[in-house]
Amino acid sequence: MTTGQTQGRTIAMAAVLIAVGNITSRLIGVIREAVFAATYGRGEELAAFTAAATIPTLVYDLLLSGAISAALVPVFSRVAAQPEARDRLVSQVLSLMIVVVSGLVLPMVWFAPQMVQWLAGGFDAPMQALTTTMVRWMLFAVPCMVVAGVMTAVLQAQQRFVLPAFVTSVFNIGLIVGALAFTPIVGPVALAVGMVVGALAQVVLQASGLRTMHFQWRTDWRNPAIHEMIRLYAPVALGMGFSAIGTVIDRRLGSSYGADVLPTMRYATTLIQFPLGLVAAAVSTAILPTLARLRDDADRAAFRTTVAQALTVVVALIVPAAVILWLVRIPLTGLILQRNAFAAADTLAVADTLKWYIPGLPAAAIDQILLYAYYARGRTLAPNLVQGAAIGGYGIGVVIGLAFFGPSAQTLAFANSFQWITHMLLMAVLAHRLFDLRGMGLAQTIALCAMAGAISWALVSAASTLVGADTWPMVVQVGILSVIAVAVYLGVAWQFRITPVLMAYQLIYTKIRERLAR
């Protein structure tokens, strides 16, 4: 086997492992939300938890989340085959991150009430007190999250993808354990305890894969490699900062619109992220290694072709996913969440909010491919400036939403969709300037897929109304309406020869048959 074939097999295996881990984590994430729904419904306790979790998540995102792929993995990869240099650099980075995160977390524990007032000022005094208690518990999870993030980068740099692929899964399991095991003991604070358990589980899981490495406390941080990490991450940190601003605004408005708004948005977001993760994440993971090898100007034609192919596949898959999600949003929400503390009225409220996230779903999927393509060309600053501009789109969306829906979860869902669409359009302009995609048939594919999706939506909606589908059991509604929608979509695609749709579904069909044959 040649070196090229070996590398190809390694990349393919990595993509498979990441995809499996992504699917597993999202499935467990759905189970997590089902547990939360059964235990807390859309009550104040879950609203407090959702607001409180924003603070440690933002700290982690700003410190490390974007740095893993943008800075840590590339630099760690250069010393992966040199054990002594690798262990020294990893020890330096871990020591530095522990000092930085400790310097941030300890004051934040003290000033937690002020941060809660700033983030969730719309809550009443008892809710703010509960949120503050949760924040203080959750901040103890941040050092573990940071250490786990560095471990992820080290393992990925060594092309060891199994353990990092499942870190999100064990984190979600920790949250589930917290909700089920500790709620009878400490009440809703159990959710915050679950976050600490999940963060610890991430460290334990990955530590098992780093047993042969030797770590020691090091404060000699004047290492050119660390300086390079900072240089690589700086533009990404700018974008993460803009994203944090958008999140804070979203949470503040949500806390002001009513106690049930944040939980409603939380459940709807989980449901919208599932198809987005499966489609966009799977395709982007598959094309990233290829794009990374086509950075030179001499490879521009191949680069353009690869990006165009990825976009057509994403459009071909995400359009029917959006149509199906719209058609089955009520029975799907009820099937997953409606039990115990989560009533039928809660199902309708979440489904109505989910409806206004769906228009932004195709834009978010297309946007992810454009971002990967832009990063593959070595450009990190402009896409992150776009993130700042997209916050303006969010503001416009809030103004429009308030005019139609008033202060509600629907308004904020509509604003988020408006932001995703704004971001996608701005990225499309940037992509056009960096790697012109004209003549690749994208506009035609998007138009045809939109037409096929519209026909599928219209026919299935009419048929479900005529036969009274809303009286069927929820699982039957989800199954039958989904199958009919896909069948109509494929039928329209075959009739109008929408090649990317037929190719994408033929590939999926082939892979399923191969899996069943095994």
Average pLDDT of the residues in 125-129: 95
Q: In this model, does residue 148 exceed pLDDT 80?
A: yes
Q: In this model, does residue 281 exceed pLDDT 70?
A: no
- Per-domain residue ranges for the chain? 44-245, 260-518
Q: 270 pLDDT band (50/70/90 cuts)?
A: very high
CB proximity list for 38: less than 8 A, separation 6 or greater: 337, 339, 340, 341, 342
Q: How far are the Cα atoms of 117, 323, 328, 380, 483 from residue 474, in angstroms, in the given order?
A: 41, 17, 9, 45, 14
Q: In this model, does residue 331 exceed pLDDT 90?
A: yes
Dist. CA 284–CA 287, nearest whole Å: 5
User: Taking the CB of residue 298, how many other CB atoms lie within 10 A of it?
Assistant: 9
Q: What are phi and psi of 427, to 5 degrees?
A: -65, -35
Dist. CA 244–CA 240, nearest whole Å: 6
CB proximity list for 119: less than 8 A, separation 6 or greater: 51, 54, 55, 248, 251, 252, 255
pLDDT tens, position by position, 214-255 = 888 988 888 888 988 888 788 888 888 888 999 999 999 999
pLDDT at 515: 58
Q: In this model, does residue 290 exceed pLDDT 70?
A: no
Q: In this model, does residue 401 exceed pLDDT 90?
A: yes
DSSP designation for 123: S
Q: In this model, does residue 7 exceed pLDDT 50?
A: no
pLDDT at 287: 61
pLDDT at 400: 97
Lowest mean pLDDT among 251-265, 440-454, 498-512: 498-512
Q: 160 pLDDT band (50/70/90 cuts)?
A: confident
pLDDT at 284: 64
pLDDT at 264: 97
Dist. CA 26–CA 360, nearest whole Å: 19
Q: 513 pLDDT band (50/70/90 cuts)?
A: low
Q: 296 pLDDT band (50/70/90 cuts)?
A: low
Lowest mean pLDDT among 186-195, 225-234, 359-368, 372-381: 372-381
pLDDT at 67: 75
pLDDT at 153: 87
Q: In this model, does residue 439 exceed pLDDT 70?
A: no
Q: 420 pLDDT band (50/70/90 cuts)?
A: very high
pLDDT at 509: 64
Q: In this model, does residue 5 exceed pLDDT 50?
A: no
| Separation of CA 227 from chain center | 29
The dihedral region occupied by 473, where left means phi > 0, alpha psi between -120 and 50, and beta the remainder, is beta
Q: In this model, does residue 4 exceed pLDDT 50?
A: no
Q: In this model, does residue 419 exceed pLDDT 70?
A: yes
Q: What is the average pLDDT value for the chain, to the nearest integer? A: 86
pLDDT at 416: 96
| Closest to 150 in 3D by CA, of 76, 54, 235 | 76
pLDDT at 8: 44
Q: Which range in 136-140, 231-235, 430-434 is most confidently predicted, on average pLDDT?
A: 136-140
The model carries a pTM of 0.87
Q: In this model, does residue 134 exceed pLDDT 90?
A: yes
